[in-house]
Structures are given as structure tokens and as C-alpha cells.
Amino acid sequence: MVRYCLKSSFALVVASVLAACEPGPPQHGELTHTAARLQREALRDDRAWELVESLATEIGPRMAGSEGDRRAVEWARQRFLALQFDRVWLEHVSFPLWRRQSESAALVSPVNQPLAVTALGGSPGTGGPIRGEVVHFPDLAALEAAAPDSLEGKIAFISQRMQRTRDGLGYMAAVDKRSHGPFVAAEQGALALLIRSVGTDAEGPPHTGQMSTQRAGEPVPAAALSNADADRVEEMLAGGLPVVITLDLDCGFDGMGESRNVIGEFDGSGDTGGFVVVGAHLDSWDLGTGAVDDGSGVAITMAAARLVAELPERPRHGIRVVLFANEEQGVYGGKAYAAAHRSEWGRHVLAAESDLGAGRIWSFRTRTAADAQPAVQQLADLLAPLDIAWDAERPAFGGADLSQMRRLGVPVVDLQQDASRYFDVHHSASDTLAAVDPADLRQNVAAWATLIYWAASSDVALGPIAPTH
Ligand SMILES: [Zn+2]
């Protein structure tokens, strides 16, 4: 009996020594102190700017499956290595390859004048110039309600305008016409579809973007007009004269394409097996240089992870940065990541994606286990010095690429960027470095470094969360 007790107290001592060796979570004061240090360093660190500048100017457009995309993958691998991530690897992603060769449109009645136009992702080509009278619909619902056969030989035009909002929700309200319009126009017998660009600028170039990849049926050739040209067409239609347009789109699917998710990882100081996942998407549309969408997210997450890894003592959990392939044309990289890592989803301590440009972060949302609320309050306290408020009203979305992981139960956080100007340039030729403010970028890095440090240091289980869709 005595012997047993001795043995069991010895085991207890060994266990507590081992526990002492295992780094515990930092105490509140240390957490605050280290977060403040990270924020100070981030606010004078231009590494994120150097990364986005390099990606935008040396690689530029990198549409999924293109030569630019292949160069971007190698760029990302090299940058992870240069930032001394402990492990860097690539994971294969494949998808239907869509190419844009050329595109043009012009008014031929009531006047002759070229129009600024760009094909929507996924659009078939027109097979040479096509010509048709324009029929105006204020929104997608009006096109859905069109009289049968009324669009035979005609070009449908949806003029709905996107509203500018700080939280970017105006996009969600306006994007339906791009996602579903080409299929609805086909069902209604139209020759082609033109939409007003899903963008908030008044004078800029047209905005592209993907049509639905989920919807059954064959879409008609579909393109977006610049906002200024959409105004012009609307004015002519309001005048009552027939408006006739020619449209010539050389684009379409061409077999399968491939790319890579590029992943860099820092080890934690503990043996927890867990890691915090932060990400962004590496691909962009082909019209600009993708400095904003999503070069900024790439730069912010890489720079923030590096900053945390440079602390004198690393947090307990590891940090994984995933740069996703082909988000733009159907979240193929996100789906491939979820498929490859499904069995280890429980090791994902927290996931978050930066994919709303480069505007300052003004609020954050979470989707965590209910009993993690005190820990989330701690995060709110750490982010407050950066003028970031906790929006406890709405749960976090987690980003398009991480939505599959969220559905498996991985807790997510959204650091909400100010999206007021994001949709002026989004998916257009105006998405260049000129639209990125270095000071805003630094504030983003400060917030992301804080989030990563908080989650990677925590011994509170932030998940699993209830399955959602
Ligand atoms: Zn994006």
C-alpha cells in the first residue's frame, strides 16, 4: 500500500515536471505585453508591402492555370523559404481551364461607338461577332420573369447597380446577376447577356468575375459593361430608341488546368500537434495585377506569421499559412485543401482568411465553441488598441477557401476590412499596387499578428463548432 502510494506520488511529480516543461499559455499580462510588442513592430514593418509590391510587379496577373499562375507558385515557394518557414510544400489542385483570348463590343444603333466590356469567367465564346437588340432588365428577378420567347435573338441587359458599403455586403446583393444571369438568359432564349459591372466605381474599366460553377445548364456568352457604358446604354434605352450591340467574345473552357496550393509552416514551441491556419488566395483575375485581390491577403498573412515566429519565444501551437490556388473560378484550392486534410481537421486550432483587399480592419467576428467566449473577450481586448471592435452580433464566415474546413467544425475568425473602396477596383484592370495603402497594410499585419499569437498561445479549445453550410 505504502509502496503503491510512493509510486503514484512519484508519477504525479513526473507528470507535473513534464507539465512544467510543456509551455503553458501566457498569463494575461504577458499576453497583453507581447501583443503590444507585435503591434508596435508590425506598424513599422514594411515586409508586407515588399511582398505585395514584388508579387504585383514581378509576377502580375496570375489567372488560374496560366503561365503567370505557375510563376506565382514558384514565387510563393521562394518567399516562404526566404522568410525561413520551417516547412514549405506544394499540394496539387486541378480544375477546368478557362481562357480569355479577346473581347470587344460596340453600339451600332442608335450610334456607332465602342463599349468597354469584359467576358465573365466561365463564359463560352460568341464564335465571331454577334449582333442583337438590347432588352433591359433592372435585376435578375425581372429577367427570370420575362415573357416566354420574348428574348429570341436578343441580348439581355441587367442594369442593377452595386451599393457601396463598408462591410462589403453590397456585393452579395449585386452578384446574383453575374452568378446566375447567364443561365437564366439561356433559359429565356436570349442570344447573350450583358450586365452592369459588379463594382462601385463610376468611371473605371469593366469588372470580370466568375459565373456559377454549381448551376446546371449551358450559359449564354456573358460579359460585363463598365459602369460608365452601362449608364450610357441605360440612357439610350430610356430614350425609347432601339439599342443594337455587337459582341465578340473569344473565350471558353479548354480541357483541364492545374496549379498548387503553396503552404508554409512554423513549428510551435509545444508538442500540441495543433496549428493555427491563416490563408489567402494566390491566383487573381487577368485584368489587373491582383495587388488588392488577393496579393494583399497573401502579403498580410505571410508577414504576420513571420512576425509571430520571430518572437523570443514562439507560441505553443504551430502556424500554417496556406496560399490557395484558383479561388476565383470556384474555390478549387480550398476544396482540394479540405479533401487532403480532412482527417486532421481536429489539429486546426483556428482558421482565418484575408480576402477583402487592403483596407483597414475595423471589426472582427468569430465562430467558436460557446465556452470559448472568455478567450474571445481576451482577443477583443488585444485588438482594441488597433481600433478594432468585436462584432458579436454576426458569426464569422471564415473566407471562401476555408468554408470547407468550417463545415468540418474548425472554428473561424473574420478580421473585417473596410471594404468601402475595395469594389472600385475588384476584378478589374484597376486592381494594381496604386490601390494599396502601405499604412493600412501595416495595420492589417498588426491585427493578424495579434490574432495568430492569441490563437497559437491559447490552451482553450476554440472549437469544434457546430456544422454549418
Ligand atoms: Zn479574392
Instruction: Give the N- to C-terminal CA distance of the chain in Å, as an integer.
Output: 56
List the grid coordinates of 89. 510544400
CA of 356 to the centre of ligand 1 (A): 6
Q: How far, in Å, is the centroid of ligand 1 from the Cα of 190?
A: 30
Residue 311 Cα to ligand 1 middle (Å): 30
CA dihedral 13, 14, 18, 19 (to 10 degrees): -30
Among 218, 252, 286, give the residue marking a domain's end: 252
Q: Are 190 and 221 in the same domain?
A: yes
CATH assignment at residue 157: 3.50.30.30
H/E stretch holding 92 reads: strand 87-109
420 contacts 370 by C-beta, under 8 angstroms: no
Q: How far is the CA of 242 from the centre of ligand 1 (A)?
A: 38
Residue 26: the pLDDT is 83
**Do 395 and 437 belong to one domain?**
yes
Looking at the fold, whether 280 and 234 belong to one and the same domain comes out as no
Ligand 1 centroid–CA 291 distance in Å is 10
Residue 190 lies in a domain: yes
Asked whether residue 274 is assigned to any structural domain, the reply reads yes
Q: Is residue 20 included in any domain, yes or no?
A: no
The answer to whether residue 57 sits within a structural domain is yes
If asked whether residues 241 and 346 sit together in one domain, one would say no
- Residue 418, domain CATH: 3.40.630.10
Domain of residue 71: give its range: 25-86+267-457
Grid coordinates representing 248 are 465578340
Q: Do 345 and 371 have their domain in common?
A: yes
Give the per-residue pLDDT at 3.
38
Residue 30 Cα to ligand 1 middle (Å): 35
- Report the candidate in 422, 430, 379 with the shortest Cα–Cα distance to residue 167: 422
Co-location of 334 and 419 in the same domain: yes
Contact at 8 Å (CB) between 210 and 102?
A: no
274 and 241 share one domain: no
Residue type at position 239: G
Q: CA-to-CA distance for 250 and 168, rounded, in angstroms?
A: 32
Which pLDDT score is estimated for 467?
73
Between strands 244-266 and 192-196, the pairing is unpaired
Rounding to the nearest 10 degrees, give the CA dihedral for residues 147, 149, 152, 157: 20
- The segments of the chain whose pLDDT lies below 70 read 1-23, 468-469
Tally of structural domains, the chain: 2
Determine the distance separating the centroid of ligand 1 and the alpha carbon of 389, expressed in angstroms.
23
Could you tell me if residue 299 is inside a domain?
yes
CA of 192 to the centre of ligand 1 (A): 27
Let me know whether 309 and 241 are in one domain.
no
Q: 427: CA distance to ligand 1 center in Å?
A: 9
Q: What is the 3-state secondary structure (H, E, C) of 386-446?
A: HCCEECCCCCCCCCHHHHHHHHHCCCEEEEEECCCCHHHHCCECCCCHHHCCHHHHHHHHH
- CA–CA separation, 413 and 453 (whole Å): 13
